[in-house]
């Protein structure tokens, strides 16, 4: 296991390095200029002012020199300073990490508990009305664009029924606290969950159907175990492998959040911060957020692989 | 009761409880901006709306234009940090500071603060745009702690405007020790200390900024005790916050016009509007975008440009987008710029005249495909516009359709602003759909519509020596208005751009606020004058 793990870690580090180079190049090669947005949309800036700002930001230096400077900073743990906010990127990302983890974590938790449960329920009722209804619901919710779903829920629950706030993380006039955050969390989390839980349900249903048809299930039943024990103790455990892979792929969601849903609900997450940074060509902030996302993807894959390897020794070969 | 039902009930109670306990907004004004302020400090705002808006609440200038927004002479101005002023001669104005004016840390505002601010603002390395605007100020000196004397390089009617309009005063005692280059990264930016009606409380990144009224503010007790500014980049999120009762006011509600109907369904809200300094226009590039040393093969021709303007029913497009909340401007003039020239080109367009002008210039549809050609070259242009602007996005489609009726092929090029900006500054466009917020004086027109401006912000390359002469004479004329009228009328006739709309700012405001004062130069700066109805406190 140990040599396999070391090899896997080295792969992860190499991939992250490659991602850094590619991200740096892609961000710089995209058409546009951060100075344009720095100077606002309502006035035409003079060419000298644009040139002066570009020099101040080091954007007039050759690309390799800019890259070397960025990597040197990264080695010191410095992700640079945001062009738009004039604040350290690390500080900006940290300030958005809490809301991001909360939203992403809630959605993952809901999807991988409720979604898994519903998937197994479908598998045990395969072909029956409940299975068909749940399949239809899963496909329908998965097909709905999250921003549309968000707007619809905001209108119905927030504006028409006035049950929950339609935006923000807390009420600036309230006392704050967990209950306030929870009220603000419901709609964005519900939107994201509804838009994505279908995938978990479908995956779990397939895996569970396969597991329920395996010979060891026949053996379990022959031993006289009840159907509940057969399903949850034996079949479900066996069907967990594909779900771990899926979980690993979805872990980045916790960090990068969901751009559209964050925008619709004015949720102060990293996804929205990154989207704004990309629109403003705030290179250091885009790179910082992208690196974080890349690291999350790689760590997610690593966690999934390790989980798989623990469940199935053949994976380590 | 099933465990699941019990859990759901408990969760509902937990979520609903704060609705009951929550404090009402009372004397707090809750706003929403599209972006977080990054540097709400004079000399550092870089012209960004969100920075200017917050800075206008925290910092005061020496004086501010009155309701007429007149920039000529000093009669139309209202006192702020300066209690009074007097002219010593045609080149010198002395300002006497209000002895009651205090910084938010309790220190008095002194002449040293004013000198420090002007020194920073006139440094082209620190604030190039401001330095340009203050270029005709020869010196700023102090006479004691309370008097500031501003001397100008020449006699002109807008001296007072130049000395007061462009900047709020900074606290020298807090900033003199900060190297100018480090100011943007200094702790002062995280908690600015000003002299305005509101002081900084906190900024919660990505969520909101909170300001509170200064007790005993020297110009009068603020009617609004607290201002909370939330952030939401998405326009529908901003509207939802308003309709959901989570904010009290939202500006630039139109377009889309549908928003008015939605707001109308909420009796607790009302719609107010005020003319603004903003306008939108499609700039015609006079130079060839492929080689700016050459004239544009189509748009350098005045008749072609006039035909392009006359091919458009500007009034219909403007009305479709803004309803009655915008007018078709004459030349480069928002609703509040004090010019009243005769209109040179019909706002409703004149398709027959447009077609005649194009045919006379040799542009005819020889092959019957609906697009005119000359010497085998089609009359085809690209219209570039930033997708971040709703009115420009909406108008571009209508413009393309109307131009096509006149035989002009238009390719629409929607761009993110970060990509649109460099294209515009690099002069790599045929038609660029610009939006502008003007200063309230036509003097600033020289920057973008004069021959000399071609090396600066005159990115279309328009040049008419007659306009230059009129604007130059207006600079020093005792009454510049007739000259401004003539200059703007001449620009309109030359059609260097299609001047499409000059819009008002349409706002929705909670009815619990009274005596709403809106200042077009910074919309929220007079919130301290608003009042909250007694029943709502």
Per-residue pLDDT for B4 more than 80? no
Beta carbons of B362 and B374 less than 8 angstroms apart: yes
Beta carbons of B278 and B440 less than 8 angstroms apart: no
For B231, which residue in chain A has the nearest alpha carbon? A266
Residues in A closer than 8 angstroms to B16, CB to CB, are 163
User: What is the rounded average pLDDT for all residues in chain B?
Assistant: 92
CA nearest neighbour of B227 among B201, B245, B250, B207: B201
Instruction: Specify the pLDDT at position B454.
Output: 86
A69 falls in which pLDDT band (50, 70, 90)? very high
Could you tell me which residue, A307 or A143, shows the higher pLDDT? A143
Instruction: Specify the pLDDT at position B444.
Output: 84
The CA distance from B424 to B434, in Å, is 9
- Top-level class of domain B60-187: alpha beta
B457 falls in which pLDDT band (50, 70, 90)? confident
Phi-psi sector, B273: left (phi>0), alpha (psi -120 to 50), beta: beta
Using a CB–CB cutoff of 8 Å, tell me whether B48 touches chain A.
Answer: yes
Read off the pLDDT of residues A10-26 as tens digits, 9 standing for 90 and up. 998 999 999 999 999 99
For A37, which residue in chain B has the nearest alpha carbon? B418
Residues in A closer than 8 angstroms to B391, CB to CB, are none
Mean pLDDT value across residues B169-176: 96
Read off the pLDDT of residues A78-137 as tens digits, 9 standing for 90 and up. 999 998 888 899 999 999 999 999 999 999 999 989 999 999 999 999 999 999 999 999
The CA distance from B348 to B329, in Å, is 12
Residues in A closer than 8 angstroms to B456, CB to CB, are 46-47
Q: Whose structure tokens read 């072609």?
A: B304
Per-residue pLDDT for B84 more than 90? yes
Per-residue pLDDT for B16 more than 60? no
Using a CB–CB cutoff of 8 Å, tell me whether A168 touches chain B.
Answer: yes
The yes or no reply on domain B277-504 and CATH 3.40.190.10 is no
Instruction: Write the burial class of residue A141 (CB in 10 Å: 0-12 exposed, 13-18 middle, 19+ buried).
Output: middle
**What's the maximum distance between 2 C-alpha atoms anywhere in chain B?**
89
Using a CB–CB cutoff of 8 Å, tell me whether A42 touches chain B.
Answer: yes
Helix or strand holding residue B50 (H, E): helix B49-58
Q: Which of A37, A40, A42 sits opposite B418 (nearest CB)?
A: A37
Using a CB–CB cutoff of 8 Å, tell me whether B459 touches chain A.
Answer: yes
Residues in A closer than 8 angstroms to B210, CB to CB, are 172
What A130-134 contacts at long range (C-beta under 8 Å, 24+ apart), as own/partner pairs, is A131/A205, A134/A201
Instruction: Specify the pLDDT at position B536.
Output: 67
Instruction: Specify the pLDDT at position B129.
Output: 78
Paired strand residues for B391: none
The pair of structure tokens assigned to A283 is 């290179």
A223 falls in which pLDDT band (50, 70, 90)? confident
CA nearest neighbour of B502 among B339, B386, B344: B339
Substitution target from A38, A39, A43, A182 for chain B, most B beta carbons within 10 A: A43
The CA distance from A101 to A255, in Å, is 6
Other Cβ atoms less than 10 A from the Cβ of B225: the count is 16
Q: Which of A36, A52, A272 sits opposite B233 (nearest CB)?
A: A272
Instruction: Specify the pLDDT at position B17.
Output: 44
Kindly report whether the peptide bond that precedes residue B244 is cis, defined as omega within 30 degrees of 0. no
- CA distances to A40, A145, B201, B212, B326 from A86, in Å: 15, 34, 20, 25, 36
Read off the pLDDT of residues B236-268 as tens digits, 9 standing for 90 and up. 999 999 999 999 999 999 999 999 999 999 999
Could you tell me which residue, A258 or B314, shows the higher pLDDT? B314
Per-residue pLDDT for A65 more than 90? yes
| Alpha helices per DSSP H over B291-444 | 302-310, 314-322, 351-360, 390-405, 417-425
Instruction: Write the burial class of residue B345 (CB in 10 Å: 0-12 exposed, 13-18 middle, 19+ buried).
Output: buried
| Alpha helices per DSSP H over B185-276 | 235-243, 258-264
Phi-psi sector, B331: left (phi>0), alpha (psi -120 to 50), beta: left
Mean pLDDT value across residues B77-83: 97
Using a CB–CB cutoff of 8 Å, tell me whether A170 touches chain B.
Answer: yes
Are the Cβ atoms of A266 and B30 closer than 8 angstroms? no
What lies within 8 Å, CB to CB, of A161 at 6+ separation is none
Q: Which of A42, A166, A168 sits opposite B278 (nearest CB)?
A: A42
For A264, which residue in chain B has the nearest alpha carbon? B237
B51 falls in which pLDDT band (50, 70, 90)? very high
**What's the maximum distance between 2 C-alpha atoms anywhere in chain A?**
84
Helix or strand holding residue B148 (H, E): strand B147-152
For B262, which residue in chain A has the nearest alpha carbon? A159
Are the Cβ atoms of A265 and B28 closer than 8 angstroms? no
Encode chain A in three state secondary structure. CHHHHHHHHHHHHHHHHHHHHHHHHHHHHCCCCHHHHHCCCCCCCCHHHHHHHHHHCCCCCCHHHHHHHHHHHHHCCCCCECCCCCCEHHHHHHHHHHHHHHHHHHHHHHHHHHHHHHHHHHHHCCCCHHHHHHHHHHHHHHHCCHHHHHHHHHHHHHHHCCCCCCCCCCCCCCCCHHHHHHHHHHHHHHHHHHHHHHHHHHHHHHHHHHHHCCHHHHHHHHCCCCHHHHHHHHHHHHCHHHHHHHHHHHHHHHHHCCHHHHHHCCCCCHHHHHHHHHHCCCHHHHHHHHHHHHHHHHHHHHHHHHHHHHHCHHHHC
pLDDT above 70 as % of chain A: 95
Give the minimum alpha-carbon distance from A234 to chain B in angstroms, rounded to a whole number. Answer: 25
Other Cβ atoms less than 10 A from the Cβ of A9: the count is 11
The pair of structure tokens assigned to A137 is 């619901």
Are the Cβ atoms of B456 and A276 closer than 8 angstroms? no
What is the domain partition of chain B in residue ranges?
A: 60-187, 277-504
The pair of structure tokens assigned to B450 is 């004069």
Instruction: Specify the pLDDT at position A103.
Output: 94
Instruction: Specify the pLDDT at position B22.
Output: 43
Residues in B closer than 8 angstroms to A258, CB to CB, are none
Substitution target from A27, A28, A49 for chain B, most B beta carbons within 10 A: A49
Instruction: Specify the pLDDT at position B455.
Output: 81
- CA distances to A139, B311, B403, B414, B430 from B385, in Å: 38, 19, 16, 5, 11
Q: Which of B18, B185, B436 sits opposite A183 (nearest CB)?
A: B18
SS3 B434: strand
Are the Cβ atoms of A173 and B233 closer than 8 angstroms? no
Read off the pLDDT of residues B415-425 as tens digits, 9 standing for 90 and up. 999 899 989 98
Rg (CA), chain B: 26
Substitution target from A84, A118, A172 for chain B, most B beta carbons within 10 A: A172
The pair of structure tokens assigned to B152 is 């100008």
* Selected residues 173-212 of chain A with any CB under 8 Å from a CB in chain B: 173-175, 177, 179-180, 182-183, 186
Encode B465-499 in three state secondary structure. HHHHHHHHHHHHCCCCHHHHHHHHHHHHHHCCEEE
DSSP B261-284: HHHHT-TTEEEEEEEEEEEEEEEE
Mean pLDDT value across residues B68-95: 94
Substitution target from A155, A168, A178 for chain B, most B beta carbons within 10 A: A168
Using a CB–CB cutoff of 8 Å, tell me whether A29 touches chain B.
Answer: no
The pair of structure tokens assigned to A247 is 């979980």
CA nearest neighbour of B373 among B382, B363, B381: B363
Mean pLDDT value across residues A214-243: 85
Residues in A closer than 8 angstroms to B386, CB to CB, are 41
Are the Cβ atoms of A158 and B418 closer than 8 angstroms? no
Mean pLDDT value across residues A305-313: 76
Instruction: Specify the pLDDT at position A227.
Output: 85
Per-residue pLDDT for B435 more than 90? yes
Mean pLDDT value across residues A295-314: 80
The CA distance from A299 to A103, in Å, is 19
Phi-psi sector, B26: left (phi>0), alpha (psi -120 to 50), beta: left
Give the minimum alpha-carbon distance from A23 to chain B in angstroms, rounded to a whole number. Answer: 18
CA atoms in the 13 A half-sphere facing the CB of B184: 19
Examine domains B60-187 and B277-504 and report if their fold is the same: no
Instruction: Specify the pLDDT at position A42.
Output: 61
Q: Which of A167, A175, A276 sits opposite B237 (nearest CB)?
A: A167
Read off the pLDDT of residues B157-170 as tens digits, 9 standing for 90 and up. 999 999 999 999 99
Residues in B closer than 8 angstroms to A38, CB to CB, are 46
The CA distance from B325 to A38, in Å, is 29
Substitution target from A42, A152, A180, A191 for chain B, most B beta carbons within 10 A: A42
Residues in A closer than 8 angstroms to B230, CB to CB, are 167-168, 172, 266
Residues in A closer than 8 angstroms to B389, CB to CB, are 41
Residues in B closer than 8 angstroms to A171, CB to CB, are 18, 22, 246
Instruction: Specify the pLDDT at position B160.
Output: 97
Helix or strand holding residue B89 (H, E): strand B82-89
Phi and psi torsions of A80, nearest 5°: 95, 180
| CA B399 remoteness from chain centre | 24
Using a CB–CB cutoff of 8 Å, tell me whether B187 touches chain A.
Answer: no
Interior CA angle at B132 toward B41 and B144, to 5°? 65
Give the minimum alpha-carbon distance from A40 to chain B in angstroms, rounded to a whole number. Answer: 5
Read off the pLDDT of residues A145-203 as tens digits, 9 standing for 90 and up. 888 999 999 999 999 999 999 999 999 988 778 999 999 999 999 999 998 899 899 99
Read off the pLDDT of residues A30-50 as tens digits, 9 standing for 90 and up. 888 888 777 766 666 777 778
């Amino acid at each position: 296991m140990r040599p396999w793990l070391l090899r896997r870690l080295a792969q992860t580090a190499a991939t992250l390095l490659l991602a850094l180079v590619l991200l740096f190049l892609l961000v710089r090669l995209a058409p546009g200029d951060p100075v344009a947005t720095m100077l606002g949309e309502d006035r035409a800036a003079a060419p000298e002012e644009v040139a002066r700002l570009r020099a101040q930001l080091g954007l007039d230096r050759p690309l390799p020199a800019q890259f070397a400077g960025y990597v040197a900073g990264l080695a010191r743990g410095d992700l640079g300073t945001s062009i738009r906010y004039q604040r350290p990127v690390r500080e900006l990302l940290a300030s958005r990490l809490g809301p991001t983890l909360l939203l992403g974590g809630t959605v993952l938790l809901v999807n991988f508990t409720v979604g898994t449960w519903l998937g197994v329920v479908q598998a045990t009722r395969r072909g029956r009305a409940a299975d068909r209804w749940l399949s239809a619901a899963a496909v329908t919710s998965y097909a709905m664009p999250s921003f549309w779903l968000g707007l619809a829920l905001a209108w119905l629950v927030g504006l028409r029924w006035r049950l929950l706030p339609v935006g923000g993380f807390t009420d600036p006039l309230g006392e704050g606290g967990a209950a306030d955050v929870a009220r603000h969390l419901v709609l964005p989390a519900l939107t994201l969950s509804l838009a994505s839980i279908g995938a978990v349900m479908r995956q779990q249903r397939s895996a569970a159907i396969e597991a329920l048809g395996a010979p060891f299930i026949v053996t379990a039943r022959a031993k006289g175990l009840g159907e509940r024990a057969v399903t949850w103790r034996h079949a479900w455990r066996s069907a967990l492998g594909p779900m771990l892979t899926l979980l690993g792929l979805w872990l980045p969601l916790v960090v990068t959040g969901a751009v559209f849903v964050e925008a619709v609900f004015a949720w102060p997450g990293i996804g929205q911060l990154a989207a704004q940074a990309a629109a403003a060509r705030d290179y250091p902030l885009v790179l910082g957020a992208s690196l974080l996302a890349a690291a999350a993807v790689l760590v997610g894959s690593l966690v999934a692989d390790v989980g798989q390897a623990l469940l199935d020794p053949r994976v380590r070969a | 009761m099933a465990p699941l039902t019990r859990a759901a009930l408990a969760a509902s109670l937990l979520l609903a409880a704060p609705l009951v306990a929550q404090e009402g907004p009372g004397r707090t004004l809750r706003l929403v901006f599209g972006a977080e302020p990054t540097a709400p400090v004079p000399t550092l705002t870089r012209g960004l709306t969100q920075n200017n808006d917050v800075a206008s609440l925290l910092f005061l200038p020496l004086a501010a234009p009155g309701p007429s927004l007149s920039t000529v002479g000093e009669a139309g101005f209202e006192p702020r940090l300066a209690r009074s002023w007097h002219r010593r001669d045609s080149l010198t104005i002395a300002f006497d500071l209000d002895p009651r004016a205090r910084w938010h840390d309790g220190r008095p505002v002194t002449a040293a603060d004013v000198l420090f601010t002007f020194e920073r603002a006139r440094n082209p390395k620190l604030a190039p745009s401001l330095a340009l605007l203050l270029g005709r100020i020869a010196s700023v000196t102090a006479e004691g702690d309370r008097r500031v004397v501003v001397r100008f390089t020449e006699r002109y009617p807008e001296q007072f405007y130049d000395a007061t309009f462009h900047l709020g005063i900074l606290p020298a005692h807090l900033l003199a020790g900060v190297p100018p280059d480090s100011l943007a990264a200094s702790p002062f930016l995280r908690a600015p200390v000003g002299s305005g009606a509101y002081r900084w409380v906190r900024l919660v990144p990505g969520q909101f900024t909170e300001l509170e009224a200064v007790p005993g503010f020297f110009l009068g007790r603020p009617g609004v005790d607290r201002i909370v500014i939330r952030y939401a980049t998405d326009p529908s999120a901003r509207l939802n916050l308003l309709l959901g009762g989570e904010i009290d006011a939202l500006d630039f509600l139109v377009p889309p016009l549908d928003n008015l109907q939605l707001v109308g369904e909420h009796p607790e809200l009302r719609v107010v509007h005020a003319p603004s300094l903003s306008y939108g226009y499609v700039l015609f590039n006079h130079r060839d975008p492929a080689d700016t040393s050459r004239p544009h093969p189509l748009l350098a021709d005045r008749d072609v440009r006039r035909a392009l303007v006359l091919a458009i029913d500007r009034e219909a497009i403007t009305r479709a987008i803004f309803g009655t909340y915008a007018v078709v401007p004459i030349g480069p003039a928002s609703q509040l710029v004090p010019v009243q020239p005769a209109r040179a080109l019909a706002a409703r367009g004149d398709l027959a005249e447009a077609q005649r002008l194009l045919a006379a210039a040799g542009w005819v549809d020889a092959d019957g495909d609906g697009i005119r050609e000359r010497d085998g070259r089609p009359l085809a242009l690209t219209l570039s516009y930033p997708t971040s602007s709703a009115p420009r996005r909406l108008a571009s489609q209508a413009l393309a359709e109307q131009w096509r009726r006149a035989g002009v092929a238009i390719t629409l090029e929607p761009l993110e602003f970060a990509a649109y900006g460099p294209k515009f500054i690099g002069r790599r466009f045929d038609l660029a759909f610009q939006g502008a917020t003007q200063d309230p004086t036509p003097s600033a027109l020289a920057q973008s519509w004069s021959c000399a401006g071609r090396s600066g912000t005159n990115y279309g390359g328009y040049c008419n020596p007659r306009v230059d002469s009129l604007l130059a004479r207006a600079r020093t004329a005792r009454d510049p208005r007739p000259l401004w009228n003539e200059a703007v009328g001449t620009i309109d006739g030359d059609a260097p751009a299609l001047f499409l709309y000059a819009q008002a700012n349409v706002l929705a405001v909670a009815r619990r606020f009274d005596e709403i004062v809106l200042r077009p130069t910074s919309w929220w700066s007079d919130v301290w004058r608003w009042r909250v109805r007694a029943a709502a406190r």
